[in-house]
Structure 1
Amino acid sequence: MLKPAEMRELRIVCLEEHADAVIKRIDALGSVHLTDIKEFLEEWEGLIEPSKAGATLMQTAELLARIDSLVALLRARTAEGARAGAKKSLREMLFKAPGAEEEQVAARVAARVAERVKERGEERRLAEVEAEFGGLEAAVTELAGERERLRAELSDAEELLGVQKILADFGVNLEFVSGEKNFISVLAGWLPSRNLDALGSSLEAEVGEEQFVASSRAEGEQSFALVVVLKKDRAEAERALARLDFERWQQPLPLPLPLEAEVEAEIKRLERELRENEGKIEALRREKFEDLLEMQELVQIEESKAKVKVLFGRSERVRVLEGWTPKEEVEKVVAGVTEETGGFSVVEVREPAREDVRVPSLLKNPRILKPFEGVVKMYGHPLYKDIDPTLLTALIFPILFGLMFPDIGHGALLLLLGLALVFAFKGLGEEARGAGVIVSLCGACSVVAGALFGEFFGFSEYATHLVE
């Protein structure tokens, strides 16, 4: 516990046809840190050369980026639906363990991926995914584009209706603010509400008293104003308005000017079409989202394999891997590689010196100390040759906290909060549970120190009776 996990250096030599199987087994073991063969080329004296990024890596990277984008789009749609529909109560958010449904989906996707990997070769899998995804991407992209168009048109129509109602309060209509007049210029638009009071005086300073202002103060940050000036004074008026951050309103819908009832009917039509569009997207999400996650997982597997292959050394028939694994995992790795290659492989195991700067460090501590690894890593990850300070941090950090904040009351509150994070608030996830361990230990030490110093919510006289 006082040192990072003891590591061993691995050198694996296998035939080219076994490379994919070896990668798959190493990935399944999850305990091998692979390194780039370029660091060790001199030792091979020209017998091998580094691998190069192939077409598969570029193909999978590009395809995965497109899939990730579509997954994010459909997940955003799910989040919108959750906000619009039944929202989680505070009780569910705090006390209900998350991810039950997500775990079921992940399990189904993993089973389908495993079956597909077993049945089909790499090239066939990628070709199938690309074909399936192409059709799905086109359908979703078309619906998403239509949704954005409808939202933009709906926003314009709602803005027009709002302006019509404001103008009706002023006693004018859209025709008054549209088009050119013979002797006057009409400027209608929005400006920050904080500048509304200065509008009249600013115009008067520029054009004199031959101007008219009507305004509607809104509850938000922007207010609407209607300004009428003589045509000859338009340039001066526009300068004054620009200083007040006035943004002229432009009618979003084309002429002829619609009546208020027509705009309301247009809004209802757009809302209906938008609901239909979102219904289609939701139906597509329910039907195809798991398929999309399956495609994402398959392409991630192929991309990971392609990235690992770039780390290989190669000759005409042989592939070479270099990496690191914890000492206790060596037998599993050797047995796994031997099984996958049918014995046609060589695994060399070396013990590195503690001072070897190439060795990655792995912190291995009991579960109760795991949260304190995060505190240690805030100050930097220990090197392989260094002491692992997690145990010392777990002992000293709460004690120092208790000595700095000695108070029975405050400490008890922290202790209760920490215990709640660990045992009650399951909905907040594992990170919150880890934080709860630290908070509860700090709270307990604060209670003990508070009893020693006689502090209770900052009032020493109350604590005296508690500890005597």
Structure 2
Amino acid sequence: MFYPQEMSKIELVLPENQIVPVMEALGNSGNFQQIDMSHVSSEYQEGEQIGQNWGAKASTFAALERRLRTLLRKLDIDEGTPNDKTIPPITNERMIYRWIEGFELQVNELILDIESEHKSEEELRSFIRLLQPIKEVDFELDRLQNLDYIFMILGIGPKVGLDRLRTSLSRVPFELLVLDEYDDQAVVLLAGPRQNADVLERAARSAFIIPLRIPEGYHGTPTEMIEAMSVDLEKLEQQIVGQQGEIDQLRKSREHQFRQIFWQVRKSNMIASAINRFGKLRNSYLVVGWMPSEQVEVLRQKLKLISEDILFEAVTMNRNASDSQQIPSSLQNKGLIKAFQSLVTIYGQPQYGEVDPSILLALSFPVLFGAMFGDAGQGLVLTLLGGLLAGKKIKSLRSASDLGVVVMLCGFFATIFGILYGSFFGLEDLIPPLWFRPMDNIMQILMITVTSGIVILASAFSLSIFNTVRHKDWTNLFFSNHGITGFVLFLAIVGLGANIIAPNLGLPTAVFSWLAVIASIALMIAEPVGRLINKQKPILHDNILMFFIQAFFELFEIVIA
């Protein structure tokens, strides 16, 4: 609870024919962190291939995974999660390749047909909308393009461009009729002498008028065209429904198979990528990685069942070792504290030898939130919403269960403080306060808030100093802004601030002032002193003037923070 899990370094030497089952066992262990050993290889002649080309296999499976993910998206099938850890990896990628290719052709053909028909449907709807204003005209539209003396353009464009159109045609005879308007568009009929056809077309383009192109196969008056298009539109809709039904049927009948093969390919990709990072010996492979010590014996027994020829070695790592910062950490919190673990990892993963601050966050975060929020009504709403998320009642939000626990606890403490403050949905006079009303006691709530902040920061400094002592990092212990010097400066500033706010406390101002000055100087010279202690050169990267300018601004930043 207070530290990351104890880790062990695992080293395996295994024959080539046991690679895949061993990799499955490592993957199913749940917490094996592999170390890349691909640089380790036995000597072999140039051009000689040791074992299978797992890098090429990983690339192949990665490409198949991308194609499957695209296929799932087109069929509106979610990837889901594997229900069984024993999903077998792919042994014949060529067969899977052909399987995917066959379904890609089938699905893509259906989707292209549907997209094409949707496009035709939209074109017909647009054309019918354009024809509606002139449907009473008893004139064959296809003859408009063949008039001997008059040139006509029937089209649609933005209403704001009509004035520009009239201006650009001011020097030639023309007639512009606005047949219909909707939103910011207008259906227009532009007519003029055929000898000015080029001028009329350029003017229409400059006004963003899109000419109406009569689709092939449609003739007659506007009414006749609308009737013919309506019949074809109904046929298109039926075809789209039928093809969409084929896709739905394919999805229903193959959904489980698609998802199963996707996870098989994904697992095979992960296995091949991991094997590609193994050390390659003449007839065997070297596997190195980390895992929690409590899982080592279980893994040992699993590997024994696979083969007696696997060499297994596990070394438990000391938390206080000098190189513990190089060891990966795995947090082991359970219950309510686990929900706050994700908040900790947002800012960074605690190192192997450090204290896990999750429990401190679990104790302080909801209480401080409740103290700041402090509303019984809204707190109850948050509690109910958090409980709904934490209970995993909504399938699509099950992954947010940890967030639900955080929201529920924050809502609970907001409710408690709301009762203490006498606040219910922002109403301050509905229920009597059990403690005090914040709006009537601004200074009191301000002092409580500042004091809480000081306590939390002091706790954080203490944890940082404790971690530094465990790592025996003496330079950072004494000179870091998170070490003893930074803590002294923090306490000095707190003491000086307290003396200004409450001079009757009688705190020794001179002592705090000298502590602040000494700590500030120590922080300014921390870097060169650290390099001097560790015998690193050069002691100063720049000249002394630039050093003090940079150190001053760094100190200023530390004080503000």
Q: What TM-score, normalized by structure 1, do the two folds share? A: 0.77
Cα 1:213–1:4 shift into 2, 3 Å: farther
Give the Cα–Cα distance (whole angstroms) in 2 for the partners of residues 26 and 171 of structure 1: 80
SS of equivalent to 2:10: strand
- The aligned residue for residue 20 of structure 1 is 20
Unpaired segments ≥5 residues, structure 1: 80-98
Give the Cα–Cα distance (whole angstroms) in 1 for the partners of residues 314 and 285 of structure 2: 14
Query: How much has 1:375 moved relative to structure 2?
Result: 2.1
Give the Cα–Cα distance (whole angstroms) in 2 for the partners of residues 416 and 293 of structure 1: 34
Cα 1:33–1:211 shift into 2, 3 Å: same
Superposed, which structure 2 residues align to 1:174-323 within 5 Å? Answer: 174-175=141-142, 179=145, 181-192=147-158, 196=159, 198-208=160-170, 210-219=174-183, 222-230=185-193, 245-253=208-216, 256=219, 259-323=225-289
- The aligned residue for residue 69 of structure 2 is 68
- Residue 351 (structure 1) aligned to one of 288, 294, 317: 317
- The aligned residue for residue 418 of structure 1 is 386
- The aligned residue for residue 369 of structure 2 is 401
Query: How much has 1:139 moved relative to structure 2?
Result: 2.6
SS of equivalent to 2:31: coil
Deviation readout 1:74-128 (Å, 9 max, x if unpaired)? 226xx9xxxxxxxxxxxxxxxxxxx9xx78xx65x988x55xx6xxxx64x3343
Give the Cα–Cα distance (whole angstroms) in 2 for the partners of residues 158 and 241 of structure 1: 23
- The aligned residue for residue 337 of structure 2 is 369
- The aligned residue for residue 96 of structure 1 is none
SS of equivalent to 2:118: helix
Cα 1:450–1:270 shift into 2, 3 Å: closer
Query: How much has 1:232 moved relative to structure 2?
Result: 6.3
Give the Cα–Cα distance (whole angstroms) in 1 for the partners of residues 31 and 217 of structure 2: 65
Matched letter for residue 301 of structure 1: K
Cα 1:272–1:316 shift into 2, 3 Å: same
Give the Cα–Cα distance (whole angstroms) in 2 for the partners of residues 387 and 170 of structure 1: 85
Cα pair 1:133 1:292 within 8 Å, conserved: no
Cα pair 1:12 1:320 within 8 Å, conserved: yes
Query: How much has 1:36 moved relative to structure 2?
Result: 0.8
Query: How much has 1:234 moved relative to structure 2?
Result: 5.9
Query: How much has 1:217 moved relative to structure 2?
Result: 2.1
- The aligned residue for residue 129 of structure 1 is 96
SS of equivalent to 1:463: coil
Cα pair 2:392 2:401 within 8 Å, conserved: no
Query: How much has 1:70 moved relative to structure 2?
Result: 1.9
Query: How much has 1:365 moved relative to structure 2?
Result: 0.9
Q: What TM-score, normalized by structure 2, do the two folds share? A: 0.66
Cα pair 1:354 1:384 within 8 Å, conserved: no
Query: How much has 1:438 moved relative to structure 2?
Result: 1.7
SS of equivalent to 2:135: helix
Give the Cα–Cα distance (whole angstroms) in 2 for the partners of residues 283 and 388 of structure 1: 51
Matched letter for residue 331 of structure 2: L
Give the Cα–Cα distance (whole angstroms) in 1 for the partners of residues 362 and 117 of structure 2: 57
- The aligned residue for residue 128 of structure 2 is 161
Matched letter for residue 399 of structure 1: V
Q: Which moved more, 1:261-270 or 1:451-460?
A: 451-460
- The aligned residue for residue 29 of structure 1 is 29
Which protein is bigger by CA-based radius of gyration?
A: 2
Matched letter for residue 106 of structure 2: A
Cα 1:374–1:249 shift into 2, 3 Å: farther
Cα pair 2:140 2:219 within 8 Å, conserved: no
SS of equivalent to 1:462: coil
Give the Cα–Cα distance (whole angstroms) in 2 for the partners of residues 374 and 415 of structure 1: 19
- The aligned residue for residue 84 of structure 1 is none
Cα 1:62–1:407 shift into 2, 3 Å: closer
- The aligned residue for residue 438 of structure 1 is 406
Give the Cα–Cα distance (whole angstroms) in 2 for the partners of residues 141 and 187 of structure 1: 38
Cα pair 1:216 1:225 within 8 Å, conserved: yes
Query: How much has 1:169 moved relative to structure 2?
Result: 6.1
Query: How much has 1:424 moved relative to structure 2?
Result: 8.3
Give the Cα–Cα distance (whole angstroms) in 1 for the partners of residues 294 and 102 of structure 2: 48
- The aligned residue for residue 58 of structure 1 is 59
Matched letter for residue 365 of structure 1: N
What percentage of aligned pairs have identical amino acids? 23
Give the Cα–Cα distance (whole angstroms) in 1 for the partners of residues 283 and 211 of structure 2: 72
Cα pair 1:37 1:311 within 8 Å, conserved: yes
Query: How much has 1:441 moved relative to structure 2?
Result: 1.6
Give the Cα–Cα distance (whole angstroms) in 2 for the partners of residues 277 and 330 of structure 1: 54
Cα 1:399–1:241 shift into 2, 3 Å: farther
Instruction: Give RMSD over aligned pairs.
Output: 3.6
Give the Cα–Cα distance (whole angstroms) in 1 for the partners of residues 85 and 32 of structure 2: 22
- The aligned residue for residue 555 of structure 2 is none
Give the Cα–Cα distance (whole angstroms) in 2 for the partners of residues 10 and 424 of structure 1: 36
Matched letter for residue 409 of structure 2: L
Deviation readout 1:144-185 (Å, 9 max, x if unpaired)? 332222222222222222222233267866336x52644444
SS of equivalent to 1:455: coil
Give the Cα–Cα distance (whole angstroms) in 2 for the partners of residues 6 and 465 of structure 1: 48
Cα pair 2:7 2:316 within 8 Å, conserved: no
Figure out how many residues of one structure are paired with residues of the other and give that number. Answer: 425
Cα pair 2:178 2:189 within 8 Å, conserved: yes
Cα 1:143–1:418 shift into 2, 3 Å: closer
Query: How much has 1:224 moved relative to structure 2?
Result: 3.1
Cα pair 2:293 2:316 within 8 Å, conserved: no
SS of equivalent to 2:102: helix
Matched, 1:139 2:106: yes
Matched letter for residue 442 of structure 1: C
